[in-house]
């Protein structure tokens, strides 16, 4: 069974540019999460989807971040415009019940 | 304060010894407590979890104990091996919406 898939694995952009990350969860997992992990820290939740509905987006900086999961399967997270402080690893996870399975992450570097 | 705190931040042990990492949480309504292992440059992977209606759970060399009264839970690794070297994250659900709050992680180094 394929795990959570994310792309790209690495992204380097200049500040003020837009960037998008894509995630395909494990087949059949209704819940999808986007996390941000800064160096030396644990993952911090940005947004959680139940099917196509965002049920917890209270920690998403909505002035520059947006996300969608239109058909309740794969999802895209966008940052526009990116700032230096957005450099981090963006992790996607999915779950059927409590256990969350993480993808490999996208390492974003903003110059 | 932080929702979830881990101690110590770094732990070095001799191969074959035991390692214990403690995690404290603040939300008395938390009911699910996973532990994740993350090797350098890799994704976090669940190694063991425990629910609030259980006090202890064991899986081979790994065990987790939960003290709901004191609001802390601990990861125990016995007979440590070099491949146990990694960062270990504890997490706890925040009662209101089942959001997982992660600790900052413990770096465990097993010295051969």
What does the pLDDT profile of chain A (111 residues) look like in tens digits?
689 999 999 999 999 999 999 999 999 999 999 999 999 999 999 999 999 999 999 899 999 999 999 888 999 999 999 999 999 999 999 999 889 999 999 999 999
The minimum CA-CA distance between B111 and chain A, rounded to whole Å, is 21
Contact criterion met (CB < 8 Å) for B44 and A40 = no
Nearest CB to A43; choose among B45, B51, B102? B102
What is the residue whose two structure tokens read 């890799």? B42
Using CA coordinates, name the residue in chain A closest to B6.
A42
The minimum CA-CA distance between B104 and chain A, rounded to whole Å, is 5
CA distance A32 to B88: 22
Q: What stretch of H or E contains A14?
A: none
Which stretches does DSSP call E strand in chain B? 4-7, 10-14, 19-25, 32-38, 45-51, 56-59, 62-67, 72-77, 86-94, 99-102, 106-111
């Amino acid at each position: 069974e394929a795990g959570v898939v994310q792309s790209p694995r690495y992204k380097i952009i200049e500040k003020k540019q837009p960037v998008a990350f894509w995630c395909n969860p494990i087949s059949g997992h209704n819940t999808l999460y986007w996390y941000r992990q800064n160096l030396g820290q644990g993952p911090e939740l940005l947004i959680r989807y139940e099917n196509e509905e965002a049920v917890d987006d209270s920690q998403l900086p909505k002035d520059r971040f947006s996300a969608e999961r239109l058909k309740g399967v794969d999802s895209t997270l966008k940052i526009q415009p990116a700032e230096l402080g957005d450099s981090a690893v963006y992790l996607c996870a999915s779950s059927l019940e409590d256990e969350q399975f993480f993808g490999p992450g996208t390492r974003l570097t903003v110059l | 304060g932080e929702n979830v705190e881990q101690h110590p931040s770094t732990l070095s042990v001799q191969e074959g010894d035991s390692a214990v990492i403690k995690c404290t949480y603040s939300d008395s309504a938390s009911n699910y407590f996973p532990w994740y292992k993350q090797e350098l440059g890799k994704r976090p992977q669940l190694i063991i979890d425990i629910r609030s209606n259980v006090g202890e759970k064991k899986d081979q060399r790994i065990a987790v104990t939960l003290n709901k009264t004191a609001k802390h839970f601990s990861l125990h690794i016995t007979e440590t091996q070099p491949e146990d070297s990694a960062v270990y994250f504890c997490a706890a659900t925040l009662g209101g919406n089942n959001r997982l709050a992660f600790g900052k992680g413990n770096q465990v180094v097993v010295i051969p």
